[in-house]
Structures are given as structure tokens and as C-alpha cells.
Amino acid sequence: MAELKTQSAIVNDLEEFLRAFKDRSGNYKYFDRINNMMAANSTSLLVDYIDFDTFKPDLAKKITDDPDEMLEAFNKAVFSVLYEIHPDYAEEISNNIKVRIGNYTVQKGLREINAEAINKLIGVSGMVVRTSEVKPLAKKIGYRCLSCGEINEAQLKSLVLKKPLKCKQCSEKELEMDPDTSIFIDFQMVRLQELPEDLPAGHLPHYLEVTVIGDLVDQCRPGDRILLTGIVRIEQEQLSQH
């Protein structure tokens, strides 16, 4: 039976990968990239899935099945390595560090995305047919209690942000947003259409609505063919009763 690893143990394993992985030329590929993040004013790190699968095959499978947990651990591992090299920059971007997975081998067609893919990491090819304007998305909102002044935080999880029902300190229900303790990031909606060569004869093309955030906004235009790696979410329609 496989041993279940704690989050901190996973972060340690990912740190080991980021520090120790060497490319064919013998360079410390990811350590060097992290070292260059400050000079490039970058908040994201691209990790090649093939590299990761070669170095840590057990965790590579886990990133497919539990991408939210794994990517959060990856972000923490990058912060830890960056903090040792450039502590001030690490602190400055700590809330915005993102690991991106590239060269991902688990590919599906648009019409193959079903219930089994929900909350899994997948790669899919398609053509961009529409992009929305860039808007702010709340990553974290602080709510100040109007009775005792305590700040109650709501964190973004799977693109859902739930306001606390009451103050954790005094149970008062009157809470108002506090801009000073709230964090917002850019987001954009992208509509992806099935590629013409993937379309079965006589069928209408399938579409996928994609949410991109942070430094991925404004990276594609209608007409672009892209290979997208992302997490599949289900969005329930809110039904109102009258």
C-alpha cells in the first residue's frame, strides 16, 4: 500500500526536484530559472512534465489526479527556493507565485471531456474563437467585523470565494469588505472550439469555456490554435425561484 504523504513532505520532494534536476548539459534547470525570476520580474515558473515524470514519477501521477493540492505545494516549494536566493522578492510576490505545467502528456479531445475529468489536470487542443475583456478577480478578501474589528478572510478555492457567515472572534454577522487586506488578480474568459480536423463528419463543433488568470491573460487572440493545460471545473447554474 502506497504511503500517504503529508503536504509538507510533498513540498520537500518538490523542492528537491527544483534544486536537483539537471538538463542534458548538466545545468540546474529549475534552480537557474527560479534564480532568474527577479531579474525577469516574473511570478510564474514553467515546469516540463516530462522532466518531472522522469525525476518523480509518483508525484507526476498525483499532479494529474490531485492538481489543486499539487500545484499549491509546487507554489510553496518555489517560494522556499526563491526565498533563500532573493528573500525580498520572494516576499513581494508570495501571493502570486504560480507553477505552470508544460509539455503535458495527458491529452484529451474537447468531446472527450466528461464527468471523470472533473477536478483533474488535462491537456486539450483547440482554436480560440472569443476572448473577454480582462477583469479583476478576488483571490482573497478580508471582511472587517463591525462589532470588534477582527479581520475574517475568505480564500479563493477552485474559483469560488465564500464570505464568512460570522466573525470568528465574536460571532457578529455584520461584516464589510476591507480593501487593505484583500488581494485581486486579473482574469479573462476564453472560448475554445474543437479543431476542424478533430471534428467528426456531420457534427457541430464542441466548445469549452476557459478561465485564465494572472500572467496568462491577454496571451491569445481569436483565431489562435493553442494547446491548453488546465483543471476541469463544473459550474452549476444558479436557479432562482419566484
Q: Is 233:159 a contact under the CB 8 Å cutoff?
A: yes
Looking at the predicted structure, is the pLDDT value of residue 62 above 70? Answer: yes
Burial 158-195 (b: 16+ CB within 10 A, else e): eeeeeeeeebeeeeeeebeebeeebeebebbebbbbbe
pLDDT for position 137: 85
Cα Rg of the chain, angstroms:
20
3-state class (DSSP) for residue 19: helix
User: Residue 185: phi, psi to the nearest 5?
Assistant: -130, 160
Selection from 64, 49, 194, 193 nearest residue 116 by Cα: 64
pLDDT in tens, 75-89: 999 999 999 999 999
pLDDT for position 95: 85
d(CA 20, CA 78): 13
Looking at the predicted structure, is the pLDDT value of residue 237 above 50? Answer: no
pLDDT for position 119: 92
Query: Which is it for strands 44-48 and 98-102: parallel, antiparallel or unpaired?
Result: parallel
Weakest mean pLDDT among 1-5, 43-47, 228-232: 1-5
pLDDT in tens, 188-208: 999 999 998 888 888 899 999
Looking at the predicted structure, is the pLDDT value of residue 4 above 60? Answer: no
Compute CA 210 distance to the chain's CA centroid, rounded to the nearest angstrom: 12
pLDDT for position 238: 41
pLDDT in tens, 124-165: 999 999 999 999 888 888 999 999 999 998 877 666 778 888
Q: What percentage of residues in the chain have a pLDDT greater than 90?
A: 67
Provide the mean pLDDT of the chain. 89
Q: How confident is the model at residue 2 (pLDDT cuts 50, 70, 90)?
A: very low
Q: How confident is the model at residue 236 (pLDDT cuts 50, 70, 90)?
A: low
Q: Residue 162: CB partners within 8 Å, gap ≥ 6?
A: 154
Selection from 194, 185, 235 nearest residue 212 by Cα: 185
